[in-house]
Amino acid sequence: MHKQKCVFLDRDGVLNRELGGYAYKLEEFEVLPRVPEALALLKQHGYLLIVITNQSGISKGIFTKEDVLACHQKLQDSCDSLIDDIYFAPGHHTISASLSRKPDSLMIERAMAKYHIDKNQSWMIGDVKRDIDAGKKAGVRTILVGEHHRAGTHQIQAKDLWEATQLILKDIKKPA
């Protein structure tokens, strides 16, 4: 079976504005500039797009699974439904142990098995260390995004998803 390439995406801080707390209220859930264009460009180049996000506020009773699903629907609506799948881990380490939560890589590994993903052609884009750690554990290349990181914090860094997309596309055009 043909293996597919994928870009795994953290949600808060990569696709939507990081609020400093929990992003679960529809009226506060804001897709970042150029995210729809970046996702469309990745799709044009044959990438699956899969969101990998921790949502511990569910287990903490701060918000519900339905709140999360409503935000995911708003995300899909804002991005012409380009996202192939969304995995989220509702647990929190203080309440229940979970290998799904980043920095563990079980969500990524489940998606890799389900979609027959080639880890050597795939990426994880995140805005914090736990996202990068999850990607590394799964064996995919990683890009740290966000203007708040010091230069040299990670091997590959970008200002935002649009810039990360340009780096990925530049990489696939390199001569072998």
**The predicted structure's pLDDT at residue 139:** 97
Domain ranges of the chain: 5-172
Is 12 considered catalytic here?
yes
pTM for this one? 0.93
Burial of 8 (0-12, 13-18, 19+ CB in 10 A): buried
Q: Mind listing the pLDDT tens digit for each residue in 1-44? A: 789 999 999 999 999 999 888 899 999 999 999 999 999 999 99
> How many Cβ atoms from other residues are within 10 Å of residue 150's Cβ?
7
Q: Does residue 96 or residue 125 have the better pLDDT?
A: 125
Q: Mind listing the pLDDT tens digit for each residue in 42-93? A: 999 999 999 999 998 888 889 999 999 999 999 999 999 999 999 998 865 5
Q: Mind listing the pLDDT tens digit for each residue in 121-172? A: 999 999 999 999 999 999 999 999 998 877 777 789 999 999 999 999 997 6
What is the arithmetic mean of pLDDT over 95-106?
Answer: 78
The set of residues, in sequence order, having a beta carbon less than 8 Å from that of 82 and lying 6+ positions away, is: 36, 39, 40, 43, 49, 76
Tell whether omega for the bond before 103 is within 30 degrees of 0, i.e. cis: yes
Is 77 considered catalytic here?
no
What homologous superfamily is domain 5-172 in, according to CATH?
HAD superfamily/HAD-like (3.40.50.1000)
Strand intervals (E) in the chain: 5-9, 47-54, 85-89, 123-126, 141-145, 157-158
Asked if 6 contacts 48 with a C-beta cutoff of 8 angstroms, the reply is yes
Q: Please give the structure tokens belonging to residue 156.
A: 């590959």
Which of 10, 127, 131, 160 is the catalytic position? 10
The pairs formed by 144-147 with CB atoms below 8 angstroms and a separation of 24 or more are 145/13, 145/14, 146/13
